[in-house]
Each structure stands twice: as C-alpha cells, then as structure tokens.
Structure 1
Amino acid sequence: MSGQADVAPTGLLRRVMRGRDPREEHRAATPLELLFDLTFVVAVSQAAAQLHHALAEDHVGSGLAAYAAVFFAIWWAWMNFTWFASAYDTDDVPYRLLTLLQMAGVLVLASGVPAVFEDGDFTLVVIGYVVMRLAMVTQWLRAAIEHPEGRSGALHYAAGITAVQICWIARLWTPDAWAWTTFLILVAAELAVPAWAEYRGHPTSWHPGHIAERYSLFTIIVLGEVILGSLAAVRSAVADHGLSTPVLLIAIGGLLLVFALWWIYFTGNEARLTTLRTALVWGYGHYVVFAALAAIGAGLEAALDAAEHHGHLSTRGAGLSVAVPVAIALLMLGALHRATRTGAVGHALLVLAGALVVLALGFSAPALGIGGAILGMGLAVAATLTANLFTVRHRSERR
C-alpha cells in the first residue's frame, strides 16, 4: 500500500489502521505529534529543575539517581509513541483520543517528579507512566485487529508492555532495599520488548526519515529547556547582585555550549537507519543524549548559584556539574554519528580529546573561576566541532 492509511467513508471519525509505507516521500511530523511533544517539555523541565536543586544542595548522588530514573520514564514513553506513530498514524478520532490520554499521563508523571527527588516516592510517576503505556497497549491491540499483516508484532508489543506494567505497579510495594535492583530489572525488560516484538513478530513499518526528524525535534526541545532554565537563573542572579563578570561568562559559555552541541547534532547527512539493529542502537543511545543535554541546563543553573555563593555545592562540583554531561553528550554523539555513518563528528580521537579537555576544565574551576571554566568548555566543544569538520572536509577532498 502507499502513503496514508486506508480511509473509511466517515473520514476523520474512523479510519482503518494500516501500516504506513516506510518509503513514503515527504513524511513529516504531524501537528498532533508536535502537540504531544509539548507535554514532554513540562516533564523534562521538572526533571531538570529538581536536578538543579539537588546539585545546589550538594545531594549529587541521590539527585543523579532520581534524575536518571524519572528521565528514563519520560524518554521511554515518548520513544514508544514516536515509533508507533511512525508506523500506524491514522490520525482519526480514536487515535487522537488515545494520544490525549497519553498526554494526560505525561502531566501526571511530571507532577510526581518532585516526590521522587525528595522522598524516593515513585507512586505518581508510576501512575502517569502506566497510563501512557496502557494507552499504547490499546493502540497496539487496535493495530493487531485492523492490520492482519502486522498482527504478530502488534500482539507481541501489547503482551510485553502489559506484563512489564503489571510489574511496575507491583514494584510500588517492594521493600526499599530492593527498590533500585527491581528498577534496573524492569528497565531491562522495557528495553527488551521492542527487540523481542520486532524479531519474533512481524516487523513494524516505521519510516526512517520520519524517525530521524522526530528525534531531531526533541533534541531542539531539550536544548530549548537548557536555554530557558539558564535564562531564568541569569535573571535571578542579575536581579539580586547585578551583572557580575562570572555571571556574564557563564551566560556566554552556556550559550556557546548549546549552539556548538546543536551544530554537532545537526551536522552531516540524515541518520541512516538501514537496519533494525542500527535503529535500536541509535534510538536507545538517545536516552543518554537527551538526559545529558537536559542535565547541562541544571548544571549551568548550579554554576550560577555557586558564582553567587548560593547553595552548598563547591566551585569544583559546580564546574563538574556542567563538564560531565557535556563530555557524555560529546562522546555519545560521536558514537551515534559513527554508528549511522553520517560522517559529521565521527573522528573518535578528536571527540575523546574534546571530552577530556572539558572534564579538565571542570576540575580546574577553582583555579580558573567558574565563569572562566564554563566559557572554556564552550570554546573546547566549538574547537572539537571545527576540528571534526576540517577532518571530514580534508578526507572528502582527498577522495
């Protein structure tokens, strides 16, 4: 079949759910997908804000653990909807209403984020998460009924997701001593479901270009959260003490970091998701990318707190709160560029050197000053990008 799903006589009210053509031209994100993404802005903002507070109070270990946990729930729910929509977007009334239910689940999850950081209470997060996931089960069951060719894969997805959600609910009564062990086991189970369903059932007809665009749009959303959070922190610092040199340097360095990382992500050809294995590596690797990028915003806010002598985080700790997520983002983006053969920032030694320089600057924050260290990080990432682009151009000219 080609293009859109078969349309019943009732038009938008009800369409037959069929797998979309993965070779469809001009396949772009829909207005519903963009609206769906906006609800995740709230969830990402909540996670980053709570991480900032944890860093400022020097609760680094517990803050990072809570952040990694809630960000997984946010990312995994977004990712599952995105891949399903790429294959089965009918955009009719039932589809839109189930998407609305998932959006409501996102907001419930976001409202439960503070409790995870403060008390380790996952109740609201799990409720919101399960609401989103059970809505996805309903979508998969509909696909199984209306798309006979893809029924096997759809039923595998529905069964796998349902089983894991039952376990998430049961985990709420797990003794505290087993809380993180059971969490990691269930994360592994969630990650295994798509591979199990795609390999054991009929593969879904996701669109490589559409998937690449959706991930690109979410990257921009996360970077926008970094800018918004940093702006709020700068305004607060200026209102309290005026525009000091450290605040100015942090603002310039933060903007340079965001722009350089954006350039790194959007340099080169579109990701070549030619096989399921490559697609899974690329898709799963973005958890690290998204989480690291959002954490940069929290780190910049913590650095501004340190510059204004607020909170309890040391100057070195503030420098590393920015340097570590920047280094992680650099390394993962370099790995993903190589995995998808975009050829943009795939020179391993250059990327590694850039990450090491950034980390060294984080450790050197007491000597350089927090503002100077963060400005140096921005310049280091920009230099890493420039060196990679020069290397790629030199290789292409030699060919």
Structure 2
Amino acid sequence: MSGHGADTAPAGPLRRIMRGRDPGEEHRAATPLELLFDLTFVVAVSQAAAQLHHALAEGHVGPGLAAYAAVFFAIWWAWMNFTWFASAYDTDDVPYRLLTLLQMAGVLVLASGVAAVFEDYDFTVVVVGYVIMRAAQISQWLRAAVEHPDGRGAALRYAAGIAVVQIGWIARLWTPDAWAWTTFLVLVLAELAVPAWAEYRGSPTTWHPAHIAERYGLFTIIVLGEVILGSLAAVRTAVAGHGLSAPVFLIAVGGLLLVFALWWLYFTGSEAELTTLRTALAWGYGHYAVYAALAAIGAGLETALDATEHHGHLSTRGAGLAVAVPVAIALLTLAALHRLTATGTVGHALVVVAGATVVLALGFGAPAVGLGGAVLGMGLAVSATLAAGLVAGLVAGRRLRAVGR
C-alpha cells in the first residue's frame, strides 16, 4: 500500500496530515497520550470490579456476572477500537489530542454509569458515555478517510459501521425488558463484525503488529495493578477490623502469587507476532476474556476476604469459586492465545489444563481447606503451572538445538 511509508508529514505547526503509519516502523512504542488514555480506563475497570465484588458479596451471582460481562464489553471494546486506530493513524497533533480528550471524557461518563447497570440494569449513562467515545472515534475515521486516500475505503466502512451500531445501542434503551439481553448480544456481534468487514473488504489499515502487541501487554499490567490496589484496600479493611488473622494473611500471599504468576505467564507470549489480520483480530478479541477474568480475580479476592470476616451472603465455597473461576478462565485463555501466536505456553496445553483443574478443585474444596488455604493453594498451583511450562519449554529448546547439530 502506497501510504504505508508516508507516516505523518507535517502540514503546519499544530496539525499533521493523517496518513497511514508504516507498519514496519522500528522502535514503535506506546505514546504518552496512549498511556494517559489508559488511565481513564483504570477508573472504569475499577468501577466494574467493585460492583462485581458487591454483587458477589450479596449473593447476586448470576445477575452480577451478567451485568459485569455487559459493562466490561463496553469498556474493552472502546479501548480496543482506540488502540487499533491509533496504531494506524496516530498523528499526535492538536485535533487528534482533542478528540482523544473527548474519548477520555466518554470513558469517565461510562464509568459513572456502571453502578446503575448492576443495581437496575439501567444502561442510560453507560450508553451516553459510549456515544461520546464513539462519536469521537467516527470523527477520527472520517478524518483518515479525507486525508489518507489509500485507506479511504476501510476508514469509511469503519465510520459507517460504528455509526450504524451506535444507533442500535441508543435504540436499545427503549427495548422491552424481555428483549434486553437478546438485543444486547445481537449488537455485540455487530460490533465485532465491523473490523472484519472494514478490513477485509478492501485495503486494510496500516496497523503496527508490534505496537498492537505492546499495547495489549501494557493494559494487562494496568488491570493487574487494579487487582493489587483493590485487594490491598480489602486487606487493610480486614486488618483494621479484626487484626491480621491467618486466613487474611494467606489470602494476601496467595493473591500476590496469583498476580505475579499470571503476569509472568502472560509475558511468556510477549513476543507474539501478529503477522496476519486474522491472527491480530483473534488475539484482540481473546483479550476480552483475559482482561475481564483478571479484573474479576480482584473482585473474587475481595469477596474471599469478606467471607473470612463473615461479611456478605456468599458461602465459603462460593467465595472460593469467585477466585478460582476467573483464574481458570485466565489460564485457559492465555494458553489458547499463546498457541495462536506460537509463543508462551504453546505445546504445553495439558500443563495449563492441569493447573486450571487444580485451581477449580481448590475453589470447590474451600470449605475443607479454608479460604486462606484455598487461595494460597491457587497461587501455588498457577506458579507451578508457570514453572512446568518454563521447564518444558527449556527442554524442548534443547532438543531442537540438539537436532540442529
């Protein structure tokens, strides 16, 4: 594509022509604006995890998980769309920065409406925030269509697809309750279809494979940081109430082990090469489960701490599973993504499945071993899964080198 090497030619001191960036650009890293943008999503993720924690503590497991899945989709999808566009068309000029500011405002509006979704299934404020973000995104795509002729077809399809689906989200606010979740799922599928339709119908956008992979990794760290922050606050509350008990201490240690081991597991695939559009889309879509599961681990740890202090209405087994289920989902999803990109835990699926099985067994067995013992055991199980994967990878590498000789 002729626009690949154009990058961002200056058109004035405050504005640059928005041309497709070079997908082979060396040393392409996240910009300070992208990192600032991510921080607004910390607020949204925090709100979603906090509300899930409250729902689980009150025993509203089914409704809480449904609301969490819906809200987290809006958060993740808005972030992913911005990231994809920025990878191809980040000019970092004044118009681009101001539209990014508008998207950041939309994220904060969305975050302020999260509680209403959990309490009353009222998506009004969430949709308002979403409209703000998507309107700014449409403006960015239209600008790309005007200033980058080679990518005009894809840019216009993105703008049109986003606009049509956004109208659907607004119309859904007046949908009868009986159709609420059906229409939600239809619109989710429509959202997911827009990138594939826009990219495959003509010249694809000039997204940067290494930049995309780095951005997903950075957001993973942000989500894990939120888990640590929320868990620390819960530990402090428990200690302030009844002192540092053994279960609280074990949950704190086990939670830290979980975060560190999952971080390590994720970044065994940090060298992922998103060489094709299909791989990039599958990698990106799979991160919904990764991010949602990681954030839910924080909510689960807080729920487990509540249960040790006899707060809330969830049983000991329920509190154990509140940690175990998202950990297992994170493990299995990471294994699938690493297999997709031939990195990380690829070739060691049985090890990961065994680790996930042990984690789930500990969740079910929480009444027998205690919540502290269960969570600590989960941390050790994930750590053992990591260690087994690293050793297996080392052995496989030595065999390949031996054959090469």
Q: Hey, what does 2:363 align to over in structure 1?
A: 362
The 1-side partners of 2:346 and 2:229 are apart by 27
1:7 aligns with 2:7: no
Letter in 1 for 2:273: R
Q: Hey, what does 1:279 align to over in structure 2?
A: 280
1:33 aligns with 2:34: yes
Q: Hey, what does 1:228 align to over in structure 2?
A: 229
Q: Hey, what does 1:184 align to over in structure 2?
A: 185
* Alpha-carbon distance, 1:22 to partner: 0.2
Native 8 Å contact 2:351 2:389 kept in 1: yes
Give the match's secondary structure for 1:369.
helix
The 1-side partners of 2:309 and 2:346 are apart by 36
The 2-side partners of 1:369 and 1:275 are apart by 47
Deviation string 1:229-281 (CA, Å, 9 cap, x unpaired) is: 00000000000000000000000000000000000011145111011111111
Letter in 1 for 2:130: Y
After superposition, the Cα gap between the structure-2 partners of 1:96 and 1:206, relative to the gap in structure 1 and judged at 3 Å, is same
Deviation string 1:190-220 (CA, Å, 9 cap, x unpaired) is: 0000000000132000000100110000000
The 2-side partners of 1:367 and 1:152 are apart by 60
The 1-side partners of 2:191 and 2:301 are apart by 32
1:242 aligns with 2:249: no
Letter in 1 for 2:8: A
Q: How many residues align?
A: 397
Native 8 Å contact 1:345 1:389 kept in 2: no
The 2-side partners of 1:378 and 1:357 are apart by 11
Q: Hey, what does 2:403 align to over in structure 1?
A: none
Spell out the pairing of 1:209-224 with structure 2 (5 A cutoff): 209-224=210-225
The 1-side partners of 2:345 and 2:192 are apart by 28
The 1-side partners of 2:40 and 2:147 are apart by 29
The 1-side partners of 2:271 and 2:8 are apart by 25
Letter in 2 for 1:2: G
Give the match's secondary structure for 1:104.
helix
Letter in 2 for 1:328: I
The 2-side partners of 1:309 and 1:270 are apart by 44
Deviation string 1:78-111 (CA, Å, 9 cap, x unpaired) is: 0000010000000111100000000000000000
Q: Hey, what does 1:317 align to over in structure 2?
A: 318
The 2-side partners of 1:22 and 1:138 are apart by 23
The runs of 4+ residues in structure 1 deviating greater than 6 Å are none
The 2-side partners of 1:31 and 1:2 are apart by 23
Q: Hey, what does 1:254 align to over in structure 2?
A: 255
* Alpha-carbon distance, 1:178 to partner: 0.3
Q: Hey, what does 1:110 align to over in structure 2?
A: 111
TM-score by length of structure 1 reads 0.98
Q: Hey, what does 2:268 align to over in structure 1?
A: 267
* Alpha-carbon distance, 1:343 to partner: 3.9
Native 8 Å contact 1:345 1:351 kept in 2: no
The 2-side partners of 1:346 and 1:224 are apart by 29
The 2-side partners of 1:2 and 1:195 are apart by 24
Spell out the pairing of 1:120-131 with structure 2 (5 A cutoff): 120-131=121-132
Give the match's secondary structure for 2:22.
coil
1:81 aligns with 2:82: yes
Letter in 2 for 1:341: A
1:169 aligns with 2:170: yes
List alignment gaps of at least 5 residues for structure 2.
401-405
Letter in 1 for 2:10: V
Native 8 Å contact 1:141 1:155 kept in 2: yes
Native 8 Å contact 2:267 2:344 kept in 1: no
The 2-side partners of 1:383 and 1:176 are apart by 46
Native 8 Å contact 1:335 1:346 kept in 2: no
Native 8 Å contact 1:327 1:355 kept in 2: yes
1:69 aligns with 2:39: no
1:17 aligns with 2:18: yes
Once the two structures are aligned, what percentage of the paired residues are identical? 81
Letter in 1 for 2:387: T
Letter in 1 for 2:9: D
Spell out the pairing of 1:276-355 with structure 2 (5 A cutoff): 276-344=277-345, 346-355=347-356
Give the match's secondary structure for 2:113.
helix
1:390 aligns with 2:385: no
Native 8 Å contact 2:51 2:118 kept in 1: yes
Q: Hey, what does 1:144 align to over in structure 2?
A: 145
The 1-side partners of 2:348 and 2:279 are apart by 19
The 1-side partners of 2:53 and 2:222 are apart by 18
After superposition, the Cα gap between the structure-2 partners of 1:268 and 1:172, relative to the gap in structure 1 and judged at 3 Å, is closer
Give the match's secondary structure for 2:281.
helix
Give the match's secondary structure for 2:26.
coil
* Alpha-carbon distance, 1:3 to partner: 7.0
Native 8 Å contact 1:337 1:346 kept in 2: no
* Alpha-carbon distance, 1:54 to partner: 0.2
Native 8 Å contact 1:105 1:131 kept in 2: yes
The 1-side partners of 2:366 and 2:344 are apart by 33
The 2-side partners of 1:7 and 1:385 are apart by 47
